[in-house]
């Protein structure tokens, strides 16, 4: 399930987007205000933001800039919704870090395809093409199932390794305990969400200097940080 945040002040377009995105199997949050959009994006960590350029309280470009500056939302793709004649040049230049843009009036079908394309880019499958991963103090060799922290190899069980890679592949996105249970342990598992906590705790202990890369999101689950620097300042 992916969550999409829609920041758009035209009621008709809000409704059309909300309806069609839900039909497409996405969870949707909608706001008409830029400031509220920034707040929701930080709280909800959506997989993608649709952002109107002209909002009542602040320009969409400023919203985009703030999203791309904040560690919690820096990695979140943004598609700008622009009207003809608006500051398209700046958006097209992707000067603000927007990932794509569409010009109103647009076909909803086309927008959905663009959304799919961007969501696919961020998928773990893409990462798997690169078996060696370096992330701050952490190095992962997916093929060999080995990891190193500050150059020292760490022994992980197969399950811990899978847990780590699952979290890593979804960095910057909160993973609920039940999602982790499904994806790491599988459906046959006769265990409770408590088990997830126990394993994450053990994994973090083993990660030592890289332990802060795995964050607890109180009452929700766990999240692998977006960048090593984010953990360093935490």
**Residues binding Ca ion (CB under 5 A):** 9, 52, 54
Q: How far is the CB of 96 from Ca ion (least distance, A)?
A: 17
Tell me how far apart the alpha carbons of residues 82 and 59 are, in angstroms, rounded to a whole number: 11
Q: Give least dist CB 54 to Ca ion, A.
A: 4
Least distance from Ca ion to the Cβ atom of residue 39, Å: 19
Of 6 and 200, the one with the shorter C-beta distance to Ca ion is: 6
Q: Which residue is nearest to Ca ion (CB)?
A: 54
Q: How far is the CB of 56 from Ca ion (least distance, A)?
A: 8
Sign of the alpha-carbon dihedral angle for 168, 169, 170, 175: negative
Q: Which is nearer to Ca ion, 43 or 57 (CB)?
A: 57
Long-range contacts of 125-129 (CB under 8 A, 24+ apart): 127/169
Q: Taking Cα atoms as reference points, which of 229, 21, 224 lies closest to residue 124?
A: 224
3-state secondary structure of 197: helix
Contact residues for 120 (Cβ-Cβ < 8 A; gap 6+): 126
Smallest distance from Ca ion to CB 165, Å: 41
Instruction: In angstroms, give the least distance from the CB of 46 to Ca ion.
Output: 19
Burial (CB < 10 A; 0-12, 13-18, 19+), residue 171, is middle
Closer to Ca ion by CB, 50 or 225: give it: 50
Q: Which is nearer to Ca ion, 14 or 172 (CB)?
A: 14
Q: CA-CA distances (angstroms) from residue 226 to 34, 167, 223, 229?
A: 23, 11, 9, 9
DSSP state of 181: I
Task: Pick between residue 8 and residue 169 the one whose CB is nearest to Ca ion.
Answer: 8
Measured from the CB atom, is 98 or 156 closer to Ca ion? 98
- 119, 142, 134, 150: CA torsion to nearest 10: 140
């Amino acid at each position: 399930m992916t969550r999409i945040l829609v920041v758009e002040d035209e009621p008709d377009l809000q409704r059309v987007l909300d309806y069609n995105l839900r039909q497409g199997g996405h969870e949707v949050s909608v706001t008409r205000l830029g400031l509220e959009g920034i707040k929701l994006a930080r709280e909800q960590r959506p997989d993608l933001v649709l952002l109107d350029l002209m909002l009542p309280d602040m320009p969409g470009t400023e919203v985009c800039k703030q999203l791309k500056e904040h560690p919690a939302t820096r990695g979140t793709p943004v598609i700008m919704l622009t009207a003809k004649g608006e500051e398209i040049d700046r958006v097209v230049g992707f000067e603000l870090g927007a990932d794509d843009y569409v010009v109103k009036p647009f076909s909803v079908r086309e927008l959905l395809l663009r959304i799919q394309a961007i969501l696919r880019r961020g998928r773990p499958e893409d990462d798997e093409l690169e078996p060696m991963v370096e992330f701050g103090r952490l190095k992962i060799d997916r093929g060999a199932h080995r990891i190193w922290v500050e150059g020292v190899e760490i022994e992980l069980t197969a399950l811990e390794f899978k847990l780590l890679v699952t979290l890593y592949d979804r960095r910057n996105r909160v993973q609920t305990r039940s999602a982790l249970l499904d994806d790491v342990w599988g459906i046959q598992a006769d265990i409770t969400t408590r088990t997830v906590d126990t394993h994450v705790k053990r994994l973090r202990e083993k990660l030592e200097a890289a332990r802060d890369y795995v964050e607890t999101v109180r009452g929700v689950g766990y999240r692998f940080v977006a960048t090593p620097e984010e953990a360093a300042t935490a």
